Amino acid sequence: MRIARLDPVERVFLVLGSAVAIVLAAAAVRYVVQLPPASALLTGVYVAAIGAAAVLRIPVGRTAEIPSFGGAVALLVLVAGDVDPFALAGLFAVGVFGCYALILRRLSSALYAAGLGSTSALAFVAVFAALRRSEMFPILAIAAATTAYMATLLLIEFGRRSGRWGRDGGFGVSAVRPIALLVVWALIAGVSEVLLLFANLFAGGTSISRDTALAALLAVVVAAVFVVLALASRIRLLARQLRIVIDAAVRLPWDDVDDVDAMLVDLVRDSVGADEVLVGEASGDRADIEVALTDDGSRRLVARRVLNVQAFDESDRRIVEALAHIQQLVVRSRADLRDLRRRARTDGLTGLSNYRTFHEALTTMNAQRRYDDAMAVLYVDLDDFKTYNDLRGHGFGDEVLTHVVRSIVDSVRPSDLVARVGGDEFAVILTQLSSLEQAELIAERVIENTARPIEIDGVRVTPRLSVGLAYSEHREDDVSRLVDDADRTMLTVKRNAKARGKVKKKGNLGVSKHRSSHLNDVVARAVAEQSYLLAYQPIVSLINRRIWAFEALVRLPAGVADGLAPAEFVEAVERLGLLDEFTRHVTRTALEQTRAFRAISPDIACVAVNIEASQLLPERLGPFFGEIAAEFGELSLCLELNERSVAAVSEELRAQADRLRSRGILIALDDYGAINSSVDALVRIPMDILKLDRSLVSDLTDVRMVEAVRAMQSFGDNLDYALVVEGVEEEAAVEVLASIGVRSAQGFLFGRAASPEATIARLREFGNAAITTR
């Protein structure tokens, strides 16, 4: 596509601006033809000086859409009042048009620049002449004229841009820099005042110099100054552009950039102040910068300035070419990297995943599947492949392999993965299976489809496969065993078929005796059957020596996961992907049993359940916790998070924790002070309770340990969360903790974790007393 041209609004402004420039230029011509030749010549020098001075443009905005200002209008004070305002504005239009016709190389833009400049200059001259006739002080007249000039130009450009002067390209003026505007205003007014003073001085005190030669001379001098300033400004711009190019080069290979085309567009727009930058099948005219981004030129970058009074020069073009070259390096390096990664992960002949990728995918699929999602591995060998290579050559063998690959891929499902793991060996991962029979049907389909006769170079071939199948009902602890079983089964069926002379025409299939690990089965069965138990350990107040809460702890009865500690059992549950299901049951059971405790002792109103921090998220158990807390509204649910699970806390998790707390759920950080604990953990997630690990109170005769607990209590008071000290086993420890302000504790002194029945018996006999005589 070609680069976009002027929209309807800009066409209107272009037509009006051009018309104004032409009309005012005509008035200037009528004025000049009436002058004596010498005066006309000097007037021409004056106009040329205006054109030269117009080279200086000072930006006043943060984007290219904001117009730039020059100081050439200040030259008009030299003859303002002596020349008709329309003719003087016309002389200004001619000078500006000549300047920009040379540098813009686009007639329409030069005409618009002349129209815009002359209209603003007319406002300058008219206001200045009117105020001077009223005998206003020159400095005030110049200030008002300068304001009229700048306001006219800004209003016209604001209208042309439909008010889109916001920093984000929207409506507003936030992209305008007020300080820069003030500086430009001061420059124009200051130069005007200086010129007026010189004119008055050398003209013998007359109010406005009528010496055309003097006006021309002063105009030339000021134009030369402006040209020098323009060069200095250009040097500063070049230095800024160079910094942008250097920064872009230093950032190579732009690893933090997702869209390199958008990055290039931003860099070009910032560096050369382009109004419009397109990347793709774009093309521009000779006033635009156009750079090929591909060798065949099918993709190009085009930068242009729409009705802008600053043209691109050769240095702008070189800057854009440099940025485009950097972008091409990024594109090529990323393409090369993708190709290297593809080659490293795929087989060159067949395009299938290679051995390494196969094992990575198998590990990932096993880890991500639910415990009861079945999967299988097919280990496939092409029989007699060596014969094809030896008798017909490797090219023939490659053709056979290509046919086999197509057949296997066509026989499996999109969710399955096919890999080449050896010269004539392939592996297939079958996922989302419901039964062993389903896996066998797929394997038989692979054998059937591959055994269709093909003709290669006039030779008829019927490929035959030996396939070993290993089926996995549950998530594996060591998924590589599944591959080994499939491989051994394939070798066995192949060897047995040859030894017994029972090689089937289409191929042979063997099914492994593989079964998922016994431990996984035991843990999964315990979760499914809810055969674990909950025990309750008291949490007591050291102020009134009463139980106010219980912590629910998992216990395994005899015959359920024998040999596994409760913590190991929970780790296995998490590893099998059953943690959320397990936590739902534990939480509901704990609340139901605590409701029974409260019926006996109304002061008991809280139960704590251990969870992983990520389970708070809405996509996991967040909604469940909110619902069940409302269901058991008379109780407080405390969710204890271990420090490991809060090592990386997102803003989403912090916000979810606050939402749950607002619904009355307590958040606690458990076992603080154990190995690898840090102060950082205390501020990672919002919480209500901090539980100190028993290791911090193992010897409260040590003054350093006492001071550490005192500091934590003070820390909790300042951050408005309660402190619960775990592992309290002696009355002496209670006295020390109470003396330093600790208000809650937990430990064997107050009772070991007991079954619901034992807990109920205790409450009936002793109430919620922290220490019993039993």
pLDDT of the residue at 201: 65
Q: Assign 562 to helix, strand or coil.
A: coil
Looking at residue 610, which CATH number applies to its domain?
Answer: 3.20.20.450
3-state secondary structure 537-549: EEEEECCCCEEEE
* CA-angle at 356, arms to 354 and 362, nearest 5°: 100
Prior bond to 253 cis, omega within 30? Answer: yes
Distance in angstroms (rounded) separating the CA atoms of residues 293 and 306: 23
Domain assignment present for residue 690? The answer is: yes
Domain assignment present for residue 21? The answer is: yes
Are 428 and 549 members of one domain? no
Looking at residue 209, which CATH number applies to its domain?
Answer: 1.10.1760.20
Which mean pLDDT values do the consecutive 10-residue runs of the chain (774 residues) have?
56 83 88 83 82 78 77 80 83 85 75 85 88 83 90 89 80 87 86 77 45 56 61 65 79 80 86 81 74 81 70 79 86 80 78 88 86 85 80 80 90 92 90 90 92 83 89 81 88 76 66 68 83 91 90 86 76 84 92 92 91 88 90 91 75 86 88 64 77 79 82 80 86 87 88 91 88 68
**Where is the domain boundary, 453, 474, 508?**
508
Are 545 and 672 members of one domain? yes
Please report, in angstroms and rounded to a whole number, the separation of the first and last CA atoms in the chain: 90
Domain assignment present for residue 518? The answer is: no
**Where is the domain boundary, 179, 206, 233?**
233
State how many domains the chain has.
4
Angle between helices 394-411 and 436-450 (to 10 degrees): 140
| DSSP code string of 489-520 | HHHHHHHHHHHHT---SSEEEEE------HHH
Distance in angstroms (rounded) separating the CA atoms of residues 620 and 378: 34
Residue 638 DSSP one-character state: E
Are 58 and 169 members of one domain? yes
Are 491 and 542 members of one domain? no
Distance in angstroms (rounded) separating the CA atoms of residues 451 and 334: 41
Give the tokens for residue 391: 């008798």
3-state secondary structure 398-428: HHHHHHHHHHHHHHCCCCCEEEECCCCEEEE
pLDDT of the residue at 642: 79
Domain assignment present for residue 304? The answer is: no
Q: Assign 741 to helix, strand or coil.
A: coil
Are 95 and 155 members of one domain? yes
* CA-angle at 146, arms to 145 and 151, nearest 5°: 100
Residue 675 DSSP one-character state: T
Are 707 and 571 members of one domain? yes
Are 83 and 206 members of one domain? yes
pLDDT of the residue at 391: 73
Domain containing residue 381: 355-508
Domain assignment present for residue 771? The answer is: no
Distance in angstroms (rounded) separating the CA atoms of residues 529 and 521: 12
Q: Rg of the chain over CA atoms, in angstroms?
A: 43
Distance in angstroms (rounded) separating the CA atoms of residues 558 and 126: 104
pLDDT of the residue at 231: 58
Are 20 and 168 members of one domain? yes
Are 276 and 419 members of one domain? no
Identity at 59, one-letter amino acid code: P
pLDDT of the residue at 290: 86
Are 499 and 428 members of one domain? yes
Residue in 528, 522, 546, 556 with CA at minimum distance from that of residue 753: 556
Domain assignment present for residue 155? The answer is: yes
Helix intervals (H) in 300-459: 314-345, 355-368, 385-392, 394-411, 436-450
Domain assignment present for residue 348? The answer is: no
* CA-angle at 340, arms to 336 and 341, nearest 5°: 120
Distance in angstroms (rounded) separating the CA atoms of residues 767 and 544: 13
Residue in 30, 50, 60, 64 with CA at minimum distance from that of residue 114: 50
**Where is the domain boundary, 198, 233, 268?**
233
Looking at residue 368, which CATH number applies to its domain?
Answer: 3.30.70.270
Residue in 53, 128, 119 with CA at minimum distance from that of residue 83: 128
Are 159 and 105 members of one domain? yes
Domain assignment present for residue 340? The answer is: no
Are 179 and 64 members of one domain? yes
